[in-house]
Amino acid sequence: MDLTDWRFKLYSRFWKSIDNIFPPACVGCGKAGVYFCDECEHNVSPIQYGQNELEEGEYDEAERNSFYSARAFAYHNGVMKKAVHRLKYKNDLGLGKVLAKKIIKTVEDNNWIIDIIVPVPLGKKRRKDRGYNQAELIAFPLSHFLRINYGPNIIRRCKETRTQIGLTVKERFENVNGAFEVIGGSAKGKAVLLIDDVYTSGATMRSAAQALKDAGARRVYSLTVTRANDFYAQEIW
List 29, 113, 158, 183, residue binding Zn ion (CB under 5 A): 29
List 37, 70, 122, 195, residue binding Zn ion (CB under 5 A): 37
| DSSP for residue 111 | T
Distance in Å, CB of 40 to Zn ion, minimum? 3
Neighbour count for residue 13 (Cβ, 10 Å): 10
Is 73 in a helix, a strand, or coil?
Answer: strand
Binding residues for Zn ion restricted to 40-99, rule: CB under 5 A: 40
For position 28 contacting Zn ion by CB under 5 A, the verdict is yes
d(CA 156, CA 229): 28
Number of residues that bind Zn ion (CB under 5 A): 6
| DSSP for residue 135 | H
Is the distance from CB of 135 to CB of 205 less than 8 angstroms?
no
Distance in Å, CB of 82 to Zn ion, minimum? 10
* Candidate segments 18-26, 153-161, 162-170, 171-179, binder of Zn ion by CB under 5 A: 18-26
d(CA 39, CA 29): 9
List 8, 11, 24, 26, residue binding Zn ion (CB under 5 A): 26
Q: Enumerate the β-bridge partners of residue 74.
A: 226
Distance in Å, CB of 22 to Zn ion, minimum? 17
Q: How many residues does the chain have?
A: 237
Residue placing its CB nearer to Zn ion in the complex, 99 or 142: 99
Which spans of this chain sit near Zn ion (rule: CB under 5 A)? Answer: 26, 28-29, 31, 37, 40
